[in-house]
Every structure is written in C-alpha cells, then in structure tokens.
Structure 1
Amino acid sequence: MARIGYARVSSIGQSLEIQLDKLTAAGCERVYREKLSGTKKARPEYKACMSFLREGDTLVITRLDRLARSVHELVNISQRFEDEGIHLHVLDQHIDTSTPTGKLTFTLLAAIAEFETQLRAERQREGIEKAKCNKVKFGRPKLSDYAKEELIRQERAQGKPISELMKTHKLGRTTIYRILNATQDSTPTE
C-alpha cells in the first residue's frame, strides 16, 4: 500500500522541483524522476515506476499529461491499474481512483479525450475527401519522365548499384539499362 510518485518534465532545462514538492507533500515514499519528452519511446524511469507498482499501491502524479503520451496509452494504463488493483491520484486535477467519484471522473475524462480524438480524425478525413473532390493532389509531386531519367543517370554516376536503382525507382533492370544507355541529349519527354 505504498504511495509512489512519478514526475516528468519535457526537457533538461526544466525543473522538477514544483512537482517533487507536491509529490512529497502528498506523502510519496518513493518518487521516480524523468527529464524526457513524453513522446520519447524510451522512458527508463517511467518503466521502472510501472514495474515497481503492486496491488494496493497508489501512483501519484501532478497532472495526467505527465503520465501518458496519448489517450490510448492513458486508457491502457487505466485498464492495467484496474486489473492489478493499483490506484491513481492526480493532484492538480483532483482525481483519486481509489474513490468511486475519482474512478467516475477519470473514466469520463478518458472517454471525453477519446471522443475528441475521434472527432478530430473524422474532421480530418472529411477535409481530405473534400479536397480530393476539388482535385487537390496529395503526396509528393510526380517527377516528369525526363527528370526521373536524369535522376537515375545521376545516381548511377555516383556509383549506386543497378539493383538499388531498381528498388528505389520501382523499375525493372531492362528499363534502368534503357535509360542509362539512351543518349543524354535526347529531347525531354514530359
């Protein structure tokens, strides 16, 4: 039944002091500290903290965004904590999942965040569809045949192997050789 703290700032220049003071005041017996962006995959202190937690323990953080990088990750953490009997206490947002009200608040926040993510994705899809109807092109502009042939010649002149040219440009060996053997002063074919 330990109270374990986790503090994280996004860069080396930021200070953990405010979070550490709050976690200490909240009675944390142990605090894991991280000075890394939440978007980084490798968060060693986070992993150590998650491994340390046991049934009946409470993880104490100052804000939800200190814990998870995405709503999906937050929902997964919540499910894991529920399954393993671990509680979450978010100080600044007054959420304590050891109470029925705290569980409800946390579940609602996660659901709202998930809903917002889905709405954003839906609006993005609609925008893309509308743009496609208006003949907006996506992705890199296609090279003209002449520009592509010139690029292949340059890459080969720099020593790139034929097999690599084939993979890069998604062309057959015969086509690559045809381009390389064509006279370079021929008229561009666009």
Structure 2
Amino acid sequence: MIVGYARVSSIGQDHAAQLDRLAAAGAEKIFSEKQSGLDRERAALEECLRFVREGDVLLVTKLDRLARSAAHLHQIVETLDGKNVGFRVLDDPSLDTTTRTGKLVFGILASIAEFETALRKERQLEGIAKAKAEGRSGGRPAKLTGETKAEILRRSASGESVRKIAEAVGFSKSAVQKVVTEGAGG
C-alpha cells in the first residue's frame, strides 16, 4: 500500500495540491496536517508512522514536508526501515529507499546527519564555554518580582536615572522604563 503524508506550516496555507499529487501517485491512504515542521509533536505524522506496515511505501511530495533536518529525516527513515517500509519523494526520485540508488543516497544523508549533529553539539559547547568565561549563565531571563518593581519605583521617585536603576537591579533599561511608566499610571 502507498501511504501519503502532506503538511503545510500554517492554518492559512492549503495542502490541496499535495493531496492531489499524492492521490495521483497512487496513495491509498493519506495523512495530512497544518502544523510547523519545527514542532516535535506532529500528531498526523506520528499516526502515519504507526499505521504503515511491512511492504508499504511512505510517499511525500517534497522532503521538507516530512523532516526538519537531515538527522530528523534519518530518524524517520530508520523507523520505516525497522518496519520494512519504503520511502519515496515525488519531487526527488533519487530519494527512494525501494531502490539500491535510493538506499545509497540515504546512507550518504545519514552520514551528513551524523556530521551535522556533531558540529551542532561542538558549536553549542563552545558557546556555553564562551558565555561562562564572560560570566553569563544560561537559562531564561529573570522575571521582575513585586519586590524588584517596588525598588525600581522607589529609586525612580528619589530621582535616580533609569540607567542607574537598571545597573543596580540587574535588568535592562527598557524593563526598568516600563515599570516606571506603568507605576506612573500610564
């Protein structure tokens, strides 16, 4: 059985053309959704991957409709391989795991994905080391507490400049200015 998967990134987009092309290519069952490819949780994709059975072929119109990166693509194709399910891309005939050449292309993509992941991790560790050397720590920015807002308003009322208040409380000038403006009623 040929199983299709179609996706568009936003509610305003239409995937009718993808659905038509998948059906014309022989897809008997098509899963579709309107959701960003960056979302890790895509319900229709997960349902599609659970649905496919040995001997089936998963078909998409374009590669970017399915995967976020080479690593993500490799992960999906590995899942399909484990179930003895083929994979094809209509717009790129070389991406077809039902052929020897297609399997070779995916082997190359898997190597690229592994390399891409290693580079990303290396850059991330370098960035963390640099931030630590500069005295910065990761995580979300601190939130202004009621106590901090009260201190900002007190300092402002005593005539201290926004810049000096920002330095003293450890928040940006714009955050301090916002508290001062809101505290002044407007």
The bucket for the TM-score relative to the shorter chain is 0.5 to 0.7
- CA deviations 1:45-103 (Å, max 9, x no partner) are 22332222110000001222322345444333222211211000012232110111101
Equivalent residue number for residue 115 of structure 2:
115
Residue segments in structure 1 that go unaligned for 5+ positions in a row: 155-190
Partner of 1:49: 48
CA separation of 1:64/1:138 partners in 2, compared to 1, >3 Å: closer, same or farther? same
Give TM-score, length-normalised by structure 1: 0.64
Distance 1:67 1:136, change over 3 A: same
Relative to structure 1, is the Cα distance of residues 149 and 71 closer, same or farther in structure 2, using a 3 angstrom cutoff? Answer: same
User: How far apart are the structure 1 equivalents of 2:141 and 2:127?
Assistant: 20
Cα deviation digits, residues 5-39 of structure 1 (max 9, x gap): 10001111111023223212322122111111233
Q: Which residue of 2 aligns with 1:68?
A: 67
Partner of 1:181: none
Query: C-alpha distance in 2, partners of 1:5/1:149?
Result: 53
SS in 2 for 1:40: coil
- What is the CA RMSD across the aligned residues, in angstroms? 3.1
**Residues 1-190 of structure 1: pairs in structure 2 closer than 5 A:** 2-94=1-93, 95-133=95-133, 135-139=134-138, 150-151=147-148
Q: Percent identity?
A: 50
Instruction: After TM superposition, give the deviation of residue 118 of structure 1 in Å.
Output: 1.9
- How far apart in 1 are the matches of 2:48 and 2:141? 47
2-side partners of 1:149 and 1:48: how far apart?
A: 46
**Cα gap change, 1:27 to 1:142, in 2 (>3 Å):** closer
Aligned length: 149
Q: Distance in 2 between matches of 1:116 and 1:69?
A: 13
**Larger Rg computed on CA atoms:** 1
Match of 1:119, SS state, is helix
